[in-house]
Amino acid sequence: MKTTRVFLLLGLLALLGGCASSTPRMAAVRSFAAQAPQLGAYHELTERYRNTYQREQPFLSASADARERELDRQRQAACDDFAQLQRGVQAYMQALGQLAGDGRYDLEDQVQSLSGGIKAWPDSGLNERHVTAYAGLTRLVAHAVTRPMQEEAVQQLMRDGQSSVQQLLEAMHTLLGLYGKTSDNEEKIVLGMLETELPYLDPRRDRLLLALARSQQHDKQAEYHLIALRNTQAQKNLAAIEQSHRALLDQIPNP
């Protein structure tokens, strides 16, 4: 008889858990988690920023090369931390989705990859405040993924993570601004060199070289235009995630 009551109680708890995951609020949380792939634009632009020197190098003068090579050393050191911001926010979003009943997310590897921490790079805009926010959020995510699927766990994670997520999204906005300025500078270097050298080519003697240079000039102009649009879209994606997060927080009842 006692065994029967135990099974009935477990079944009731399972049913209640399922009901919690099927509420409109939890459906909204799962929709929010599904926005995580939109962070991919930030990741792509981070990797492009990392490889700036490799694209610039053929177009640099000797003096400019020394300067840009030092900047490249700094970029290579910083970009791993810049990329971690995206991984941290993504893990948070998917942890919410998992707690809200979406079984698609396997966060074990993600949580492990976040455990190393990041450091500040003040010249880029990534400061100690953001480092602290990242550390706090990763601790919350690591704890959250061990909790059972329930609405209360979702609400607690959102309350506790609110400030940290806001700080990390702010840092990502700032870094996208840095990526944009760096791309503009790269454009000036590359197109400036082509515009300076093209008039010195002899249309008869250097016909092939002139055609190739003009073709590259056209391709580079299109490339930098598309990158600027991509940066604008990445900023919009972050703003949309921030807005959705704020809307979910407004729905959470006071504890």
Inter-CA distances, 219 with 42, 76, 189, 207, 208, Å: 23, 26, 15, 18, 17
Structure tokens at 107: 């966060």
Between 239 and 116, the more confident residue is: 239
In whole angstroms, give the CA distance from residue 56 to residue 65.
Answer: 9
Diameter of the chain measured on Cα atoms:
100
User: For residue 242, which of 155, 173, 142, 153 has the smallest C-alpha distance?
Assistant: 173
Report the C-alpha dihedral over residues 180, 184, 187, 193, rounded to 10 degrees.
-150
In whole angstroms, give the CA distance from residue 37 to residue 110.
Answer: 14
Task: Read off the pLDDT of each residue in 166-177 and give the average, rounded to a whole number.
Answer: 97
Q: What percent of the chain has pLDDT over 90?
A: 64
Structure tokens at 120: 């500040």
Q: Which of 38-52, 157-171, 206-220 has the lowest mean pLDDT?
A: 206-220
Would you say residue 96 has pLDDT above 70? Answer: yes
- Residue 212: predicted pLDDT: 86
In whole angstroms, give the CA distance from residue 7 to residue 100.
Answer: 24
In whole angstroms, give the CA distance from residue 230 to residue 233.
Answer: 5
Would you say residue 20 has pLDDT above 80? Answer: no
- Residue 126: predicted pLDDT: 96
Q: Among all chains, which residue has been given the structure tokens 């991919």?
A: 40
In whole angstroms, give the CA distance from residue 49 to residue 42.
Answer: 10
- Residue 42: predicted pLDDT: 98
Would you say residue 4 has pLDDT above 70? Answer: no
